[in-house]
Structure 1
Amino acid sequence: MNEVYINSAACISFQDTLNENFFYHLKPENSSQVLKAIEPNYKEFIPPAASRRMSKTVKMSSVASQYALKEAGIENPDAIIVGTGMGCSQDSEKFLKNVLDHNEEFLTPTFFIQSTHNTVAGQIALGLQCHAYNFTYVNTSSSLEFSMLDAKLQISDGEAENVLVGSTDEQTERVMELYKLNKTIKKEENLPVDYLNSETEGVIWGEGASFFVLGKEKTENSYAQLKDIRIISRLELTETQQFIEDFLAKNDLTNNDIDAVILGFSGDSRSDIYYKSASQLFTNSALLYYKHLSGEFNTASGFSIFIACQILKNQEIPEVMLINDVEKAEIKNILLYNHLGGNDHSLVLLGKV
């Protein structure tokens, strides 16, 4: 079984993560209901004629994937795997609006064709003229983790050497309205939110795209070793600690071997209790959180993996992410724990290269 390395990482998010110095200029946000991603100048990466036909998530993914491939020095990957929770929501909304406005008649197929979840992976492949394995995972908050697991298995089994793996989700006006109505998004009167000690339901919603090149060979630019991933759709609160301990034991580790734990505290009082339970296991580890920097969304874990890669490479933790004051002389192992609303729990274990 080959080891698997994360050889490049690129992210478009609410933070200016395409900027080389973003690591030292992270700005938390706790007073807005919705956080918009900072978008690049797409003209530099995508021909304007093509850009006009692309939804936001396709454009973000196209740019982030270009950054990731360029950093890894890969022109054509052996596979393209993308995880998304909501897919191309903007084009889905446009298509449904057309259906209503035109009484289900005289519809142009463009919005329908571009509304499918696998549009992102397909557009990236078209841009690269890549005819390799192309797959999209739609598993709510564990979409990226399933994508990375697929890539890891392919590399471990010798079926691929370099795989482009990404995650992406966009906001749309109508979906955000619905999320406010069903209390997924926090009410304005409950803002600003204390992410770690919230007593109200709902989250601040974000968006973004994160792309990585996973490879079997370690390079000079490698960020981390992708050691293991575990996913479970349902978990009782009382099972949380056992879920984590079993995962660590499988990798011949104990909780004391974990130098930093990145938890997905979202400010939702109903579901953050899982993270509070998990944190009790790691009294000797640096505890971190990140959704005050990215917002909550289906593939927010892409932002956390991107940040974890920077932490392992720089051997430095941004102060804005710290929950406790445990300091480590060296950061060798990082554990990431995420879920969305108490469902689809995932663990990702990254190691220093």
Structure 2
Amino acid sequence: MSAVYINSAACISVQDTLKDDFFKNLKPENTVQILKAIEPNYKEFIPPAASRRMSKTVKMSSVASQYALKEAGIENPDAIIVGTGMGCSQDSEKFLKNVIENNEEFLTPTYFIQSTHNTVAGQIALGLQCHAYNFTYVNTSSSLEFSFLDAKLQINDGEAEQVLVGSCDEQTDRTMELYKLNNTIKKEGNLPADFLNSQTEGVIWGEGASFFVVGKEKTETSYAKLEDIQIINELNLEETQSFIQDFLAKNNLKNNEIDAVILGFSGDSESDIYYKKASELFQNSSLLYFKHLSGEFNTASGFSTFMACQILKNQEIPEVMMINFVNKPEIKNILLYNHLGGKDHSLVLLKNV
């Protein structure tokens, strides 16, 4: 499977990533349990009547996709592929609440219709009047990676030339309550969180939407070459290094040829051990982390992919992301390693264009 190019990148996150100067104004957060995305003024992008009927994740995705398409100079993509872990969970909760409060009678179907995971990809297509291939992947923390894989297949098979690929996840009150009860979210007493050397379980939860235009050809706006992706559902700790080494060997790369490694340290002591094991392989590379900027959520890798694109294009690493202080004169290869709670491990290799 040949490489494809990431020709645009847009992100709505807990950082102000829609602003041009966000790269120099990244603010880490480790003192609260839940991080809210900084949302744009939706009136500038979506008609108010339509916006009122949209959930937060649909609105975030609609705006991020508009930014990505505009940057790539594309009006209508050849395919729309979206990855999400939780989908439109706000509408799901509203529907279930209606079921309980109305004793399963006289239910309005709106919340149910809008609660399905593929609502995001569908709404983007409706807005664009795009009748092309439209698909949604729901694979917890590897949802975006599966979407990228599909995009590569579409392009390599000659089915598409420009593909809109995105990821999105929102927070809901009830789900956050449940995450606190089962210790997915860090207890208040364990804050502020130590992301790199945590002694406590749980994470700080975030949200966001990231969209990219992936193309067959390199363009003036290209950020990176999407070289390869590897995904595995379960991984024993002692298999971590061989998982990474085999991936690099497949791409004819040695450890010291990886200029930067972005690791998904989340502050969860039980699952961060995988990242510590992985970091041992890259003593001569810039080691970076990102979830102190984005929070943990199913598609947090969208934020790390967005940041990797910015790093490759600007040839600059924000100091706030650095674990060590190894600085390469040129950043050619970036490896992204992520998982969620020790499940669904993914590797993404990006190359400078």
Q: Tell me the TM-score normalised to structure 1 length.
A: 1.00
Q: Which residue number corresponds to residue 240 of structure 1?
A: 240
Partner of 1:318: 318
Q: Partners of 2:261 and 2:158 in 1: how far apart?
A: 30
Preserved contact between residue 2 and residue 216 of structure 1 (Cα < 8 Å): no
Runs of 4+ in 1 over 4 A off after TM superposition: none
Q: Is the 8 A contact 1:2 1:157 kept in 2?
A: no
Q: Deviations over 1:27-81 (max 9, x none)?
A: 0000000000000000000000000000000000000000000000000000000
Contact 1:167 1:299 in 2 (8 A): yes
Say whether the 8 Å CA contact 2:335–2:349 is kept in structure 1: yes
Distance 1:57 1:252 in 2: 39
Structure 2 Cα separation of the partners of residues 145 and 169 of structure 1? 15
Which residue of the partner structure matches residue 205 of structure 1? 205
Q: Give the Cα separation in 2 of the matches to 1:3 and 1:262.
A: 20
2:264 alignment counterpart: 264
| Equivalent runs, 1:1-353 vs 2, <5 Å | 2-353=2-353
Please tell me the residue identity of whatever aligns with 1:238.
E
SS in 1 for 2:345: strand
3-state SS of paired residue (2:9):
strand
CA distances 1:282-323 after superposition (whole Å, capped 9, x unpaired): 000000000000000000000000000000000000000000
- What residue ranges of structure 1 are gaps of 5+ in the alignment? none
Could you list the runs of 5+ residues in structure 2 that have no partner in the other structure? none
TM-aligned CA deviation for residue 175 of structure 1:
0.3
Please report how far the alpha carbon of residue 2 of structure 1 lies from its aligned counterpart in structure 2 after TM superposition: 4.7
State how far apart, in whole Å, the 1-side matches of 2:193 and 2:98 are: 38
Instruction: State the shift of 1:3 in Å.
Output: 3.2
Q: Give the aligned CA root-mean-square deviation in angstroms.
A: 0.5
Q: Is the 8 A contact 1:262 1:335 kept in 2?
A: yes
Contact preservation (8 Å) 1:2, 1:158: no
CA distance in 2, matches of 1:248, 1:195: 26
Q: Which amino acid aligns with 1:267?
A: G
Q: Is residue 13–residue 303 contact of structure 1 (8 Å, CA) maintained in 2? A: yes
Q: What SS does structure 2 have at the residue aligned with 1:116?
A: coil
CA distance in 2, matches of 1:327, 1:164: 33
1:192 Cα deviation from its structure 2 partner: 0.0
The amino acid across from 2:87 in the alignment is: G
User: 1:159: how far off?
Assistant: 1.4
Q: Distance in 2 between matches of 1:200 and 1:3?
A: 40
Aligned-partner residue type, residue 233 of structure 1: N
The separation in 2 between residues aligned to 1:3 and 1:149, in whole angstroms, is 11
For 2:3 and 2:35, how far apart are their aligned partners in 1?
36
**What is the rounded CA distance, in whole Å, between the counterparts of 1:154 and 1:350 in structure 2?**
19
| d(CA) in 2 for partners of 1:153, 1:18 | 29
Offset at 1:94? 0.3
Does structure 1 conserve the Cα–Cα contact (< 8 Å) formed by 2:187 and 2:202? Answer: yes
Task: State the shift of 1:156 in Å.
Answer: 1.6
Q: Which amino acid aligns with 1:96?
A: L
Q: Secondary structure at the match of 1:7?
A: strand
Which secondary structure state, in structure 2, belongs to the residue aligned with residue 11 of structure 1? Answer: strand
The one-character-per-residue Cα deviations of 1:130-184 (angstroms, maximum 9, x if unpaired) are: 0000000000000000000000111122211000000000000000000000000
CA distance in 2, matches of 1:236, 1:100: 42
What secondary structure does 1:50 align onto?
Answer: helix
Instruction: Tell me how far apart the structure 2 counterparts of residues 310 and 325 of structure 1 sit (CA, whole Å).
Output: 19
Task: Work out the CA distance in 2 between the residues paired with 1:226 and 1:328.
Answer: 21
Contact conserved, 1:166 with 1:212, CA < 8 A, in 2? yes
For residues 201-236 of structure 1, what are the alpha-carbon distances to aligned partners after superposition, in whole Å with 9 as ceiling and x for unaligned? 000000000000000010111000000000000000
SS in 1 for 2:222: coil
